[in-house]
Amino acid sequence: MSQIILNSAENSALIQTLQQSDSKVIPSIYSTKEVFAPSATTWFNQTPTAGQAPAAGSSVTYDLNKYGIAEQMLFTFGFQATFVTPGTAAAGDRLVAPAGYIYELIDRIDFLSSSRVISTIYAEDLRAQHTNMSMEALGPVVETAIGPQFGTQAAAVGDTSTLDAEYCVPIVFGFMKDINTQPNLSFMEACQVRVTFKRPSYLFLGTSGGRIKNAAGSGQANVLPVTPATQVFSAGAGFTGSLPLLQVRYKQYGEADTAQLLAENYNAEQLNMLTSRCFRENPKSFTLSATALGNGVQQRVSIDLRNVDVVKAYYVFVTRDVTGQVNTEVFNTTEGQRSPQMCFEISSIKLTASGQEICTINRTQNLYSRLTENGHSFNAVAPGVALTGTDGASISALNLQNVYKIQTGLWENDGGGAWSNGWSMREMTNMQIEVTMPTAVGAGATGVESYPLRGRMQTQAAGSETKYTLHVVEDCSTILSTASNTGRTVNSLTN
């Protein structure tokens, strides 16, 4: 039976051309595949060396040990909060840390070498990272970092709801994304990780089904946190936090392999590594007014890009401001579909430079923005994709499918990948992104419960306006240089 196929192949010009090719291999010939040198792997839970209780604008700093090469960093944090449900609440209401609470807790994370900032990850960069992951990688992040956390249900109005929350956030700087650019902390100058907090107090009242409400018990107007903005984690205040820990996974090679590593990496004056870092453009605030916008009118917002680095990808999204809203503004929430940290729907984005249009991407085309080497695209946060952890925590309400991506090259695999492209922004003058929002939906829950409209802005009550922010963050290329004689590390070339 097999001979029929083989005889036919002998008469095929194409197959015989491949048969004579120098690229031909017989995969069944045994050969030992590439193996990594054995190493000692250790995990170290580190307490802060500076700072303790999170408060708005405060920070905690971790001095990293010189235990070898840092492979992984996990920021773990827990807190307990108590809240007496108001008389306007209903039985079964409870305290909620909504989906995406971590984006309001953390302002930024810095990696420092001898007190010099080498790389910074803002909360907006974290959100962009989470939309660019494979489903397998996003799963644990949903469960431990960005999913909602619910307190105990109040049996009756006036009862206390207690929320025990625990978060574990992976910290992935650009140089942590590839195995051969991970920092060798035993050779570098003293390094630190610093976490700066934004709004530690950001908890809401929610129904038993998870719908976010305001302190008056309504889910249809002025949905704001029920915890005071000035509240901090402190004993006896009903809002206590455990000491944040940074778990670092280290890799240490044997003596002979370490000697070879140092000889090959640091045989010249300095080691130059192509890696990446994040850049956040200045956010652009804008408002939706009842008088300025009626039904059938689309909001257009433009933002100027000031970065001059080599950019691999742009991420664009719109959020609603947590503070500064008026009492009559309208923000309806829906169980599992709308959250205060949600990304609002965008109809299209347009990127221009020197007055010329480079690209225009609409909502459906954006789902194919993560192009891979095989010509197909993937999207782990597209509508319909399961975004639920094993504990039932869902991030569907964050509407991460509304984060737009302009990818200049190809999506890099989870294990790293080839540098495929980047745009030098230094000579691309007057770069600008224009965002077109869809028409606003009418006030009232009926207009926003529909699945296609769950990310829409809402027509506001007379005399009121709602404040939104347009965010643009960029994944940039950089050359990270480490001096062979001192271990001093700097970003030596960004364009």
Q: Which of 272, 301, 281 is nearest to 425 (CA)?
A: 281
Phi, psi of 105 (to 5 degrees): -75, -45
210 in Cβ contact with 393 (< 8 Å)? no
Residue 236 clears pLDDT 80, i.e. is over it: no
Q: Enter the DSSP assignment of 299.
A: -
pLDDT at 415 over 70: no
| Whether the predicted pLDDT of 370 surpasses 80 | yes
pTM of the full structure: 0.92
Query: Does pLDDT of 375 surpass 80?
Result: yes
324 Rama class: left (phi>0) / alpha (psi -120 to 50) / beta = left
Residue range 39-493 in CATH 3.40.50.300: no
* Rounded Cα gap, residues 338 and 341, in angstroms: 8
Band of pLDDT at residue 260, cut at 50, 70 and 90: very high
Count other C-beta atoms under 10 Å from residue 475's C-beta.
25
* Spatial distance between the Cα atoms of 364 and 348, rounded to a whole number of angstroms: 9
Average pLDDT estimate for 125-138: 91
Q: Which two tokens stand for residue 359?
A: 């690209």
Return the HEC string of 360-402: EEEHHHHCCCCECCCCCECCCCCCCCCCECCCCCECHHHCHHH
Position 54 scores a pLDDT of: 72
Q: What percent of the chain has pLDDT over 90?
A: 42
* Segments making up each domain of the chain, as ranges: 39-493
Least confident of 83-97, 154-168, 216-230, 270-284: 216-230
Question: What pLDDT score was predicted for residue 247?
Answer: 96
Give the model confidence (pLDDT) of 457-481 as tens digits. 887 777 778 889 999 999 999 999 9
Q: Name the more confident of 193 and 14.
A: 193
Q: Which of 53-67, 73-87, 345-359, 455-469 has the highest mean pLDDT?
A: 345-359
pLDDT at 40: 95
First to last CA, the chain: 61
| Maximal CA-CA distance, the chain | 86
Q: How confident is the model at residue 297 (pLDDT cuts 50, 70, 90)?
A: low
The residues, any chain, with a CB within 8 Å of residue 372's CB and separated by 6 or more, are 378, 410, 411
Q: Which of 437, 477, 474, 123 is nearest to 302 (CA)?
A: 437
188 — pLDDT class (breaks 50, 70, 90): very high
How far apart are the C-alpha atoms of 234 and 53, rounded to whole Å? 7
DSSP label at residue 214: -
Report, as an integer, the average pLDDT of 279-307.
81
Mean pLDDT of the chain, nearest integer? 85
d(CA 469, CA 178): 33
Q: Kindly report the number of other CB atoms within 10 A of residue 263's CB atom.
A: 9
